[in-house]
Structure 1
Amino acid sequence: MKNNQPLIVIVGPTAVGKTATSISLAKQFNGEVISGDSMQVYQSMDVATAKVSKEEMEGIPHHLIDIKKPDESFSVADFQSLAKKSISSISEKGKMPFIVGGTGLYINSVIYDYNFSKATEDRLFRDRLNKFADEHGNDALHEQLKKTDPLSYKNLHPNNRRRVIRALEVHHVTGKPLSEQLTNEESPLYDTTIIGLTMDRKMLYDRINERVDQMIEQGLIHEVERLFEEGYGDCQSMQAIGYKEILEYVRGTVSLDAAISQLKQNSRRFAKRQLTWFRNKMDIEWFDMTTNREKKLKEIHTFLKESYY
């Protein structure tokens, strides 16, 4: 059931400028920011996640950042629960909650209050799947999803073994696909306005390439080396874009130039997937940030003011 709690959501592809935009708007609307990024929850993983710095926050409180160690699991259901608590605590202070990020499924789970499967676990089944993946590879395990849950098969990366196994386990226990049990999109839970940021494709790709170069300058290689030395090399979090590519260089399997080139390519492809997901799955008011960013910020401000005040 929808309540009257206002919620502003800012989405868009990587490198489009969500962080700077959200902080500017949060200052104008007395807001606090909830990170809608599945990777910024991890401590010590700062450079490749483009994690907002204390200086960049400009005094705006941020939530759901640095709350997990790199080897700890963090699910959509975890995010949903914590984000809803953050929305309540922010609103109780008389402030406006903003969810800002690029992980669409996580954000939608809050907006539409997804009902996550309460299926009991089958540890023997899960152990069998882990053993199968050890022997035949993650891709072979991922292929098993195609028949039972084609939507999860499409949305889950083969290397995300934990979530692939969970999807197979839910179908095994309940007889229904996990993707069916996530969906509850009849109406938003909150009085939600979703702002989408986009820009010219070539400009966006240039910004992505520049961001990767900046990450290298900011110490991405050292960050990955440290995480690897601390024993996090095989963690699921290290399969994220930015870590998995540089990890291959750290392990000595590819050259640094090849790793950086792959990182840029994967980031551009990721941005394209994000845009496709947002356009197909969310009711968004889009703003093109290609030129005259200050003018567009004023337009967004006016749009939000008319929506809530």
Structure 2
Amino acid sequence: MEVSFAAACKQAHHALLNFQSGPGIINMEPFNPIRRKEKEKVVFVMGATGTGKSRLSIDLANRFPSEIVNSDKMQVYKGLDIVTNKVTEEEQRGIRHHLLGEIEPDKDFAVEDFRRHASLAVESIVDRNLLPIIVGGSNSFIEALVDDEDFQFRSKYECCFLWVDVSLPVLHSFVSDRVNRMVDAGLVEEVRGIFKPDADYSRGIRKAIGVPEMDQLLRAELAGVNDTETRLRLLGAAIEKIKANTCVLAWRQLSKIHRLQNLLGWYIHRLDATEVFSKLKTSGREADVAWERHVVGPSAAIVRSFLRSEDANRAIAMNPSPAISAKVARTAVAAATR
């Protein structure tokens, strides 16, 4: 049974509310048998699709000598730049990006592959005295890297987690508009360029939202269906599916962040970008001001404190009490901004 964009958004919103109101917080930082007095620092930028994670990572990289490691499981592939919402070369503003458009489109890229490639990238970055910023919405990749089986990553690196959050109703509206812009920018033509009737949508880049949804339209074209009304109907249905599936993806990403935070005890700094997105439709300039005030400014203060104080951030990472952790974080940020 097909689910409309509006229905999917409503279901996702209610499901997330139920998720958030579940059992109490259990903070259990995994035991790390190997600890060094000093660790290299790594920053993670997390969030649901469309919340501005890439923008924040680039803004931070222009304030701190950094390179970025992509952790979006679809953006690692070559091609389909519109479908996968890759940052353009201009948007990258000269910041080097690792694992962005590097993997062949038909190749499977699993969590083990990401862990290996990302670990090598992080090691290379810190060896050049730069800050690694890992950014993306594939939280399963991030969890596999940070909480690996033998705790190697946590034994080497101190982690700072930033979460760009936008309220679901506001985000859903933005996502709907973004899909429309993607279609205007050439999404259909991009997918048409890789379409194969016998393609496996469970492998490689063809798993990306925006590809399977176009199947019926492209099959109709291949069969010689020239009726304009039919093609417009199929296109409209495909766009609706893309919006609905993107809404479901956002809910899953947020649910995973809440799980990492509430069940696994990750200390994650939440940056509320709802006001930014609320202003986008009325004033781009006001949205930019809000982005600086609510997202970039606080994030930069957190990262600055994180880079300055090994002991304070270890206390945050290991403290079992969310209330105390929040107090330590506020104290650290205040000290960094004085």
Normalised TM-score (structure 1):
0.73
Separation of aligned partners in 1, 2:40 and 2:156? 9
Give SS of 1:22's match. helix
Say yes or no: does 1:95 pair with 2:95: no
* Inter-CA distance 62–251: structure 2 relative to 1 (3 Å threshold): same
Structure 1 residues 225-273: Cα deviation after superposition (integer angstroms, max 9, x where no partner): 1011598565613122121112332123970000000110110111011
Say yes or no: does 1:29 pair with 2:70: no
Q: 1:220 Cα deviation (Å)?
A: 0.8
Give SS of 2:176's match. helix
Say yes or no: does 1:44 pair with 2:79: yes
Separation of aligned partners in 1, 2:133 and 2:189? 32
My pick for the range that moved more, 196-205 or 255-264, is 196-205
* Inter-CA distance 185–276: structure 2 relative to 1 (3 Å threshold): farther
* Inter-CA distance 43–219: structure 2 relative to 1 (3 Å threshold): same
Percent identity, aligned pairs only, is 29
8 Å contact 2:77–2:100 — kept in the other structure?
A: yes
Root-mean-square deviation over aligned CA pairs: 2.2
Separation of aligned partners in 1, 2:219 and 2:72? 27
Say yes or no: does 1:105 pair with 2:84: no
* Inter-CA distance 264–60: structure 2 relative to 1 (3 Å threshold): same
What 5-or-longer segments of structure 2 have no aligned partner?
1-33, 222-232, 276-289, 309-338
Say yes or no: does 1:194 pair with 2:192: no
2:260 alignment counterpart? 281
Separation of aligned partners in 2, 1:68 and 1:222? 21
Counterpart mapping for 1:225-304 below 5 A: 225-228=192-195, 234=201, 236-237=203-204, 238-252=206-220, 255-282=234-261, 283=266, 284-291=268-275, 292-296=290-294, 297-304=296-303
Separation of aligned partners in 1, 2:97 and 2:86? 11
8 Å contact 1:227–1:233 — kept in the other structure?
A: no
Give SS of 1:295's match. helix
How many residue pairs get aligned? The number is: 241
8 Å contact 2:47–2:136 — kept in the other structure?
A: yes
Q: 1:48 Cα deviation (Å)?
A: 1.3
**For 1:16, which of 28, 41, 51 is the aligned residue?**
51
Give the letter aligned to residue 297 of structure 2: K
8 Å contact 1:42–1:68 — kept in the other structure?
A: yes
Structure 1 residues 125-172: Cα deviation after superposition (integer angstroms, max 9, x where no partner): xxxxxxxxxxxxxxxxxxxxxxxxxxxxxxxxxxxxxxxxxxxxxxxx
Structure 1 residues 259-309: Cα deviation after superposition (integer angstroms, max 9, x where no partner): 000110110111011001111124211110112211021111111111112
Separation of aligned partners in 2, 1:29 and 1:186? 22
Give SS of 1:113's match. coil
Normalised TM-score (structure 2):
0.67
